[in-house]
Amino acid sequence: MKTHVKALVVGGGAVGTGIAYHLAKAGWDTMLVERDELTSGSTWHAAGLLPLFNMSYATTHIHKYSVDFYKQLEAETGLNAGFAVVGNLRMAQTDARMDEYMLYSSVAETAGVYHEFLTPAQIKERWPLIRTEDLKGALFHPQD
């Protein structure tokens, strides 16, 4: 085992492995240490959600980088990370929530995130098991 490295990363969860990966890819002499199996701690228990859109312009760009990264990871490494784009449907039962989604929409447009507004009828057409009687509408991010 090496005794000297430029970067020592402690913890083999999602954050630690991500940091070690990017440092190594940047040419740093990097070592990752983990007391157990990789991703066997908190990362293993996570739901695996990776939302593309966030109300913060800066955070949205970080999320976009992450989504793009996971999309190409299997091609680069030959390993299937199990990443799937399934979309994000934010449903509103009140006018106030729809107003909030209008604000979301303006931030999403600024960040270049595709989205669309759906009526209750459009929601029912795409997802027939969703009860839409009390909905005002929804904001849908198909690339989430």
Q: φ and ψ at 127, to 5 degrees? A: -130, 80
DSSP conformation class of 52: S
User: What pLDDT score does 7 carry?
Assistant: 97
Largest CA distance in the chain: 64
Could you tell me where the DSSP H helices lie in 49-88?
Answer: 57-77
Which pLDDT belongs to residue 3?
87
Domain boundaries, the chain: 1-46
* C-alpha span between 100 and 7 (Å, rounded): 43
The per-residue pLDDT of the chain, averaged, comes to 90
Q: Where are the beta strands (DSSP E) in 74-144?
A: 88-92, 116-118, 137-141
What are the angstrom distances between the C-alpha of 94 and each of 32, 74, 91, 142? Answer: 48, 41, 9, 22
83's tokens = 């990443």
Burial, 26: exposed, middle or buried (Cβ in 10 Å; 0-12, 13-18, 19+)? exposed
- pLDDT per residue as tens digits for the range 13-56: 889 999 999 999 999 999 999 999 888 888 777 767 777 777 78
Q: Report how far residue 91's alpha carbon sits from residue 94's, in angstroms, rounded to the nearest whole number.
A: 9
Span 98-122, average pLDDT: 92
